[in-house]
Amino acid sequence: MVRSSGQRQMLSYFQGFVPIHTIFYSVFHPTEGSKIKYEFPPNNLKNHGINFNTFKNYIIPKPILCHKLITFKYGTYRIVCYPVTINSPIYARNFFSFNFVFVFPYDCETSPYEPAITRLGKMFKVLEEQNQLLSKSERDPVFFDLKVLENSTTTPSTAGPSSTPNPSSNTTPTHPTSEKDTKDMRSSRYSDLIKDLGLPQSAFSIQDLLMRIFQDLNNYSECLIPIDEGNAVDIKIFPLLRPPTTCVSLEDVPLSSVNLKKIIDVNWDPTMMSIVPYIDGLNSIAKISKLSNSDPGLVIECIRHLIYYKCVTLSDIFQFSNIYAPSSLIRNFLTDPLMASDCQSYVTFPEVSKISNLPLNKSLGSGDQDSPSFSVRRKSKSSSIPSNPDSRTTSFSSTRRVSQNSSLNSSFSSIYKDWRQSQTSCSSSNIHVIN
């Protein structure tokens, strides 16, 4: 399939998200220590020579490293995770540590995944604090200190006769209502926990969660996985682009790096749709605003929006009085096989063009009436073909940073030259010939 210059340019900016190599769920077992409970694809770590024991201290780390995004290198892989530790007396070790770990190839960009991994860890931290979603899914009582839970629900029987409140006195009861409510809450939690641990299976499965996250993110760059009636894992991966520059003036000339007319959509902003036909690499923002009858401020915002998505770059106004000097990147014409063809397609006219639209003026010669001669003329306002290929070449060179406008330096040079000439003339006028 042959791609156009604009399509190749767009693909050079964003090639899609790197696929996830492996995703696994690790937990700190009260008797076995840090271990991998589930992974997807199954046995993928072992098949690719990734030894969990060599870096398990970074997966279930010390509390000082918990609740932070951790990224480190292991061989040819990049491991990104967000470890979580929850402290509570209901657990066997007074804490519960878990981690959802993502493995990527090392030479790739993982920044689009990092916010999603952080949100995933924070969400399951809240779910574990509320109803022990992850710890109960293990179906193993070893994670909990059931004796502490049972003892916390029983009422102490050490109260003597003196502890019985006297109805005739104004003293308050020994046990406030808030303590009673706390005991009732613990009793309810203990009953629910024992009930859930006794169930043969649960509707929530960590293994299924990992499988769906892996497949949906690799195939669609998003996932929506329900957990219960009120919670769901909702992840959508976005490319992280640099914010557009704020230094956009009316004198700047937007140069399109893609074919805007092919990617235009009916849902675009009306101002954006009105200015796209006038972005030709020659018109300044002020002229585009005038031709499209749009507010200059709105046009600048639209141009900044196109810059953010790398559809447009900015250049100065093309003038024949400018001096353009080649930069060191001019060597790309020799090293990049696509640059020459892109430049040719950007500068030349379409293959099928009417003679009346070409920037030529047909005139009859004075000598031979049968042999017409052609002379270069300016493009008419009704023509859609650029008037001068030099401006297109300069625009392409500026977009690829092959050349730069050195008119400012030449202006200073001319000013300095004029100043030196004036000083020389003044010195000459003060010389007197002495006989």
Radius of gyration of the chain (CA): 36
Question: Is the distance from CB of 368 to CB of 318 less than 8 angstroms?
Answer: no
Angle, helices 389-399 vs 337-347, to 10°: value is: 140
Q: What does the pLDDT read at residue 435?
A: 37
Burial of residue 194 (number of CB atoms within 10 Å: 0-12, 13-18, 19+): middle
Cβ atoms of residues 392 and 253 within 8 Å: no
Reported as a pLDDT band with limits 50, 70 and 90, residue 243 is: confident
Q: Which CATH number fits domain 253-315: 1.10.10, 1.10.3470, 1.20.120, 1.10.20?
A: 1.10.10
Question: CA geometry: angle at 245 spanning 398 and 256, to 5°?
Answer: 40
Quick one: pLDDT band at residue 227, thresholds 50, 70, 90? confident
Between the alpha carbon of residue 68 and those of residues 47, 94, 401, the distances in Å are 29, 21, 40
Average of per-residue pLDDT across 303-322: 78
pLDDT at 149: 54
Single pTM value for the model: 0.57
Closest C-alpha among 262, 311, 317 to residue 285: 317
Instruction: Single out the residue of 15, 8, 13 nearest to residue 345, CA to CA.
Output: 8
Q: How confident is the model at residue 155 (pLDDT cuts 50, 70, 90)?
A: very low
pLDDT tens-digit series, residues 181-203: 555 555 555 556 656 555 555 56
Q: Which residues contact 322 (CB under 8 A, 6 or more apart)?
A: 316, 405, 407
pLDDT band at 109, cuts 50/70/90? confident
Which of 164 and 194 is assigned the larger pLDDT? Answer: 194
- The per-residue pLDDT for range 79-94, each reduced to its tens digit, is 999 999 999 888 888 8
User: Which H/E stretch holds residue 12?
Assistant: helix 5-13
**Using CA atoms, how far apart are residues 305 and 241, in angstroms rounded to an integer?**
12
CB neighbours of residue 266 within 10 Å: 5
Phi-psi region of 244 (alpha: psi -120 to 50; beta: other; left: phi over 0): beta
State the pLDDT at residue 331.
75
Look at residue 411 and tell me whether its pLDDT is greater than 50.
no
**H helices, E strands: number in the chain:** 16, 14
**Residue 100 buriedness (CB in 10 A; 0-12 / 13-18 / 19+):** buried
Over the range 150-173, which residues count as b (16 or more CB within 10 Å of their CB) and which as e? eebbeeeeeeeeeeeeeeeeeeee
- What does the mean pLDDT of the chain come to? 73
Q: Where are the domains of the chain?
A: 18-155+184-236, 253-315, 322-349+388-421
The three state secondary structure string of 170-201 is CCCCCCCHHHHHHHHHHHHHHHHHHHHHHCCC
Distances (CA, A) of 186 to 89, 180, 291: 11, 10, 72
Helix (H, G, I), strand (E, B) or coil at 210: helix
Q: What's the CA gap between 356 and 254, in Å, rounded? A: 28
Q: At 404, is the pLDDT very low, low, confident or very high (cuts 50, 70, 90)?
A: low
Task: Please name the residue that has the structure tokens 């892109």.
Answer: 342
Amino acid at 123: M
Q: What are phi and psi of 13, to 5 degrees?
A: -85, -45
